[in-house]
Structure 1
Amino acid sequence: MLLDIIEFEFLEDYKLKLTFENNEQKIFDCATIFNEKPFEVLKDYHYFKQAKIEYGTLCWPNEIDIAPETLYLDSVAA
């Protein structure tokens, strides 16, 4: 199942509220991936806040992204 992200909002403590194309909303805790390359740069809150959606995927500068299926499977219901 591949569901694109259609919108998101920043929550406290590096969490993101994600809305998928089926209108399901989920919460993803980015702190859970801070120890994995290349995601350690997301610890910088200024950098973290530069997230945007490109082609249904959550992306940051320098070609860092998290696949929507990962976000969907590793999130909890909002």
Structure 2
Amino acid sequence: MIKIVKAKYIEHKTIRLWFSDQTVGDYDLQLLLDKQTELVIPLQDEGYFKRFFIELGALCWKNGLELSPGNIHNKLKQQGKLQRDLKAA
């Protein structure tokens, strides 16, 4: 089971994520935010967006939004944005 082990804000709506399988990728959440659902609307505010945290390996915000690490990992892999973390090797 893939988990997020570290996350760092990179730039506008993009977070660099390190996964438990020693891979890393930059996840752009703009497409998710464009959906304008109740849980993602608060993330339009950059200050709120930056207050993400990791809980049980998932990417979370205080309003209850929780993004699956496996789903994010698969999306990054399909987009060719996932690579080995050479520092972890």
Q: TM-score, normalised by structure 1?
A: 0.88
Structure with greater Cα Rg: 2
* Partner residue in 2 for 1:25: 24
The alignment's C-alpha RMSD in Å is: 1.3
Cα shift at 1:77: 2.2
List runs of 5+ in structure 2 lacking aligned partners: 84-89
Q: Distance in 2 between matches of 1:21 and 1:34?
A: 26
Cα shift at 1:60: 0.3
* Partner residue in 1 for 2:82: 77
4+ runs deviating over 6 angstroms: none
1:1-78 matched pairs, under 5 angstroms: 2-36=1-35, 37=37, 38-75=39-76, 76-77=81-82
Q: Letter of the aligned partner of 2:59 in structure 1? A: L
Q: 25-34 or 38-47, which moves further after superposition?
A: 38-47
Q: Distance in 1 between matches of 2:72 and 2:58?
A: 9
Q: What's the secondary structure of 1:11's corresponding residue?
A: strand
Q: Distance in 2 between matches of 1:32 and 1:54?
A: 23
How many percent of aligned residue pairs carry the same amino acid? Answer: 23
Cα shift at 1:40: 2.6
Asked if 2 retains the 8 angstrom alpha-carbon contact of 1:33 and 1:40, the reply is no
Q: Distance in 2 between matches of 1:11 and 1:39?
A: 19
